[in-house]
Structure 1
Amino acid sequence: MREQLLQQTLGQLASQIPGATRLFREHQLDFCCGGQHTLEQACQQPGLNREQLLEALQALSQQPGSDQDWQATATPALIDHLLTRYHARHRQQFEELIRLASRVEQVHAASGDCPHGLTDFLHEMREALESHMMKEEQILFPMLLQGAGRMAGGPISVMRFEHDQHGDALAELSTLTNDMQPPAGACNTWRALYRGLDELRNDLLQHIHLENDILFLRS
């Protein structure tokens, strides 16, 4: 059983085992942009407890599935889920996060823990993600719904490349915010900002995973 798990990619495991995405996030394993790596390769990461990860993943694989089986979900329903759960949600998230970040930078500018430049960085992230989502909404998703098949290969390659860029942005976001960990004594606004950023990160990772490892593989 363990050998089979080790030979599968992170993307495959994330798609097949309910709860695997949460487990991978806890171990800081990139299952979306890095989803092509096998679990064996991922276990080479310094500081990762291989046995603990394998035991937890094996236990999840033996439990009755409770998560939505997106592999078995028809393409129209999957795309509708992506649009309502992630595209619409990201647009809401950035509006509030930019407001909170601006407030924190203004009030706590003198603090050594202040995430200087975060507001501008979130503006850049929002612009890049908005451009990406518009391409999907106006070009790629309609092609997939019309059964374009191989004709969608070009747009999908572009979307995968941009997903990698989103992954790089999340890494930079983590660096700017001490991995979304507020300093001791942080005000409620600061704490709310970092909670929101962590939610954005989790949502965006899951969003990319559903597209890279499920939707795009259908073409």
Structure 2
Amino acid sequence: MTAFDINLLDKSLGEIARDLPGASAVFFKHGMNFCCKGHQALANSIHEKKLDVEEVLEQLNQLIPAESADFSEKFVPNDELINHILERYHEVHREQLPELIRLAQRVETVHGRHPECPTGLASFLSDVEQEMEAHMQKEEQILFPMIQRGMGGLAKSPVAVMRMEHDDHGESLARLEQLAHNFQLPAEACNTWQALYTGLAAFKEDLMNHIHLENNILFERIDNYLGGH
């Protein structure tokens, strides 16, 4: 194992996902929570998930030569990062959830007697939509304007609240996946059922990346804010 490998094991999931473009996809594939549990060390997460250390490190090391200017870069200005979050995630979630609710309602209506039907999913998604809408409005109307005006010190308290709500979103994702049987389709699943689970998987990945950008990059800057602009 190289010295870099050893150092990587000591780094947090959030740090790695932030600093190494493509790492978030590796973590997502292995079910490693790099957003809400971003402070967990890679070594601890590998142990918790009972993963092969060498396999995970090899996949991460393959990313090191790659160059990328995506929004995982820690030097993207706050205004640019916030605008990206609004366009790529807030707007997208507002499109995703109504469609997922519609699909879930259809599947539950048509396949309600099937033993693998995601019973209760539509109602749960409706609750998630309401919670996320309230959360995003707080960011859009209060927190993000404070950050954009350079009010980093005053933003620390709202950031702490948003982090707690992100933890709630993480628990919601776990419950969503449970209701949807880990997105495993029955052999005879219709096109609507297939579209639902494909959409749910995309929503989960988007929300995890969304929370990662806020918790491990934007909010980290506020946590470390010492004054000034």
| TM-score bracket for the superposition, by shorter chain length | over 0.9
1:90 counterpart (93, 96, 99): 93
SS at match of 1:12: helix
Q: Does 1:101 align with 2:95?
A: no
CA distance in 1, matches of 2:49, 2:25: 20
Counterpart CA distance in 2 for 1:127 and 1:151 is 27
Q: Which runs of 4+ in 1 moved over 6 A?
A: none
Distance across 2 between alignment mates of 1:186 and 1:129: 29
Q: Deviations over 1:30-64 (max 9, x none)?
A: 00000000111112124311110011111212333
Q: State the partner residue of 1:65.
A: 68
Q: Which residue of 1 aligns with 2:7?
A: 4
Residues 1:124 and 2:127 aligned together: yes
Aligned pairs, number: 219
Name the amino acid aligned to 1:71.
Answer: K
Aligned to 1:151, the other structure's residue is in SS state: helix
Preserved contact between residue 35 and residue 216 of structure 2 (Cα < 8 Å) = yes
Letter of the aligned partner of 1:90 in structure 2? Answer: H
Which amino acid letter does the alignment assign opposite residue 108 of structure 1?
H
Q: Distance in 2 between matches of 1:217 and 1:56?
A: 26
* CA displacement at 1:67 relative to structure 2: 3.5
Query: Structure 1: where are the runs of 5+ without partners?
Result: none
Shift in Å, 1:69 = 4.8
Cα distance in 2 for partners of 1:17, 1:216 equals 18
Q: Check whether the contact 1:70–1:78 (CA below 8 A) recurs between aligned residues.
A: no
Match of 1:35 in 2: 38
RMSD: 1.0
Which position in structure 2 is the counterpart of 1:139? 142
Question: In structure 2, what is the Cα distance between the partners aligned to 1:172 and 1:133?
Answer: 20
Is the alpha carbon distance of 1:46 and 1:145 closer, same or farther for their aligned partners in structure 2, counting shifts above 3 Å?
closer
Aligned pairs for 1:70-85 (under 5 A) are 70-85=73-88
Alignment TM-score, normalising by the size of structure 1: 0.97
Distance verdict in 2 for CA 1:163–1:110, change over 3 Å: same
Give the aligned partner of residue 48 of structure 1. 51
Q: 1:150 aligns with which of 142, 148, 153?
A: 153
8 Å Cα contact 1:8-1:39 kept in structure 2: yes
2:191 pairs with one of 184, 188, 191: 188
1:130-189 per-position Cα deviation (integer Å, ceiling 9, x unaligned): 010000001000000011111111100000000000000000011111111211110000
| Structure 2: runs of 5 or more not aligned | 223-229
In terms of mean alpha carbon deviation, does 52-61 or 102-111 score higher? 52-61
Name the SS of the counterpart of 1:35 in structure 2.
coil
Q: CA deviation at 1:70?
A: 3.0
